A = this chain, B = another copy of it.
Amino acid sequence: MVELSAALEGQCNKVLAATVPSPIRVVDDKFSQIDGILKLTLGEPDFAAPEHIKQAIIRDVQANDSHYSPSQGIMPLREAISDYLVERFDTPRYDPATEISVTVGAAEAINAAFQALFNPGDELIIPTPTFPLYESVAQTSDIKVVGLNTAPDFIVTPEKLKHVLAEHPNAKAILLNYPSNPTGVTYSEDELKELVAILREHQLLVIADEIYAELVYDAKHTSMARLLPEQTVLISGVSKSHAMTGYRIGYAVGPAKLMKQVGKAHQSMLATAPGPMMAGALEALRNGREDPVKMRAVYEERRDLVLKGLAEAGFTAARPGGAFYIFAKIPEFLNTNDIEFVYDLADSVKLGVAPGSIFGAGGEGYIRISYAASTEDLESAITRLKHYVDLTR
């Protein structure tokens, strides 16, 4: 241990110092202290990365890829991203040389985009409930967050969008994350087209975080990069689609004039992503197009299992069209709030779920359940939840 010189205390960045650690981590850490707890709190696939991706990484390490890669990522990966987006989501063909940056996870892409595309005081509309990272990164970048509460259907409707724009006529951008973490809700093409008309009229910049695009169950994912490429910076990656969260490869794509700046922010932030991890992502996008299909089928079964169990326990949930989250309303008869509920649930039946209110306005009274867990664990979770309800009601 090292004692900080007393004269240097309290001099850290005030904005950052005032932010609390990622609330989902705080909840998760508390749960981790309960023996035998079953946690459905984390947003990552329970699958291991596919074997062919692991082998590609191993080959790359064996081939001595231990030197710096180009700052925006190895060119074959940038080409693979360009091809993948065209072939899978019918986007325009992004130029690998000027319109694509490979990042360390989608998180870094969000940081680089926020740092590059905003000036202090710019207004960014963030629909809630939402992944808390956006707001904390916006705060440290001195971006003014305009919240847009989407409860109870968790969709940005044309009416809600028009309303927030009337109240904030100078808003510069909107963040759209769909399928959504934490709600699992996504948009149909028709719903998006209605929004696009308004976004075009107002010339809003769109930061589209579509990291869950491969996990859409009932229809095909429609990308903002197809509908509104001239105003969109698309954030995505292979973490969720190919169960390789720990390898940390994401990307940002968009018009060259924006990506020139995003790429600068990225280069300044960490020079370049690790070469062997990029080799894994290249394999995922070139030869792993079927990997998400198989995982999706499993997730869909689990989703239906959990939805059925929740309904039997008296919980209602908007039908999640994507990702691996269910955002469920705590029944009135339990007469509690979501924070009290999740801690009581953890204490009494050793089941850990995330309280909805940590995801912002509109999340109060809800819980987020991640069904990126084994079928056995999910069945046990439902049994525990039902038992809790029986004990309590």
Contacts and interface: CB of A to CB of B under 8 A. Distances in A.
Interface stretch (A152-160, A257-265, A301-309): A257-265
A88 to B, nearest CB: 17
A273 B257 contact: no
B2 A229 contact: yes
A17 interface: yes
Interface string A227-260: 0011100000000000111111000001111100
Interface stretch (A19-27, A332-340, A349-357): A19-27
Give the size category of A's interface with B. 35 or more
A104 to B, nearest CB: 5
A98 B272 CA distance: 27
Nearest to A47: B66
B66 A105 contact: no
Interface string A121-164: 00000000000010011001000000000000000000000000
Interface string A1-31: 1111101110111101101011001000000
Contacts of A116: 12-13, 16
A272 B267 CA distance: 17
Contacts of A69: 246
Contact of A2 (B19, B255, B277): B255
A-B pairs, top 9 by smallest CB distance, nearest first, are A4-B255, A49-B66, A7-B203, A48-B64, A5-B230, A108-B270, A246-B275, A12-B261, A2-B229
29 contacts: A1-B93, A1-B94, A2-B230, A3-B255, A4-B230, A5-B203, A5-B231, A8-B230, A8-B231, A9-B257, A13-B117, A13-B118, A14-B119, A16-B115, A16-B264, A21-B267, A22-B268, A48-B64, A54-B61, A54-B66, A66-B244, A66-B245, A67-B245, A104-B273, A107-B268, A111-B268, A137-B268, A246-B276, A269-B269
Given A16-B115, A269-B269, 15 more contacts: A1-B93, A1-B95, A2-B229, A8-B205, A12-B258, A13-B118, A107-B270, A111-B269, A136-B268, A246-B275, A246-B276, A248-B271, A270-B270, A274-B274, A277-B277
